[in-house]
Structure 1
Amino acid sequence: METVTGGCQCGRIRYEVAIDNDEAYLCHCRMCQRATGGFAAAFKSVKRAGVHWMGDEPDWYDSSPIARRPFCASCGTPLGFAFIGGSEKMDLTIGSFDDPARFTPVHHFGAESMHEAWIDTSGLKRIRTDEYQVLVDKWNKVGGMPS
């Protein structure tokens, strides 16, 4: 087991969680698409008992009669998914981890709602944020781009 950390964009909600592998998955169900505003939600399944919320507790949204989602009401960051009762596990959003690059997707879930055009984007042109001068100029006016 290894302890890793994460949190929301504004830093109000922080967590640490014990994990035993770097396996993750993509959920394509319509509820996750709506909850994240993306084509899928990237999740790491963890034991609920292994999640320690540091500082402020997350806010929770009852997204259906069977599930709820932790998030930060200050900045809007979606932090995960949990069934209401009956499960020792919950999911944390990959993007909320301090080191999201460590995780590898091992399966898709909610495949009935997949948008295939968004799955393999390897052939698309790639533009770095530091190559987009409009963005660089805006950040330079306020003290520089964040790392």
Structure 2
Amino acid sequence: MTPVDHTGGCQCGRIRYTVALDHDEAYLCHCRMCQRATGGFVATFVQVPTRAVAWVTEPDWYASSPIARRPFCSACGTPLGFMFMQDSGNMDLTLGSFDRPEAFRPVAHAGCESMHEAWLDTRDLPRHFSATTQSVASRWQAAGLEVPE
């Protein structure tokens, strides 16, 4: 696969990155460290060569454990990834921080000892869309804005 440039960043736009990738693979991590770091039942990542990431603005970093550190935006709080302290040549970027997360496909689960099975298959649950949920749409309209995607 020919390398493709992907862009991404934090919610407020202060931190931006570009990364050239020759794959479209992502994975889900269910470990408790990732659950706590992201506030979700699972974290989704794209593993990338560290040298392939070009930060437009360097992110903030914190040591999330004795073996890892995580980039984030201190202005808006967006978690941007994961990296082992002992550099392996790779790091992980959060799938949701990519401008086009739909460009990636899930290929594996990690940290399965903390997996919440009931949350994996939700296809039978009712689906509500932000633009048609009155409590959300009315607030965006009151702010003079359209509901974002």
**Do the structures match in fold with TM over 0.5?**
yes
Residue 48 of structure 1 corresponds to: 50
Aligned counterparts of 1:11 and 1:24: Cα–Cα separation in 2: 23
1:33 equivalent in alignment to 2:38? no
Compute the displacement of 1:18 (Å).
1.0
The sequence identity of aligned pairs, in percent, is 62
1:120 equivalent in alignment to 2:138? no
When the two structures are superposed, what TM-score results if normalisation uses the length of structure 1? Answer: 0.97
Task: Provide Cα deviations, 1:58-90, integer angstroms capped at 9, x if missing partner.
Answer: 000100111000000000000000001230000
Instruction: Mark the runs of 5 or more structure 2 residues left unpaired by the alignment.
Output: none
Size of the aligned set, in residue pairs, is 146
Task: Provide Cα deviations, 1:77-133, integer angstroms capped at 9, x if missing partner.
Answer: 000000012300000000000001111110100000000011111111101011111
Q: Secondary structure at the match of 2:99?
A: coil
- Structural mapping, 1:85-124, within 5 Å: 85-124=86-125
Aligned counterparts of 1:3 and 1:64: Cα–Cα separation in 2: 31
Aligned counterparts of 1:26 and 1:129: Cα–Cα separation in 2: 25
Compute the displacement of 1:2 (Å).
1.1
Residue 3 of structure 1 corresponds to: 5
* Alignment root-mean-square deviation, CA: 0.8
Instruction: Mark the runs of 5 or more structure 1 residues left unpaired by the alignment.
Output: none
When the two structures are superposed, what TM-score results if normalisation uses the length of structure 2? Answer: 0.96
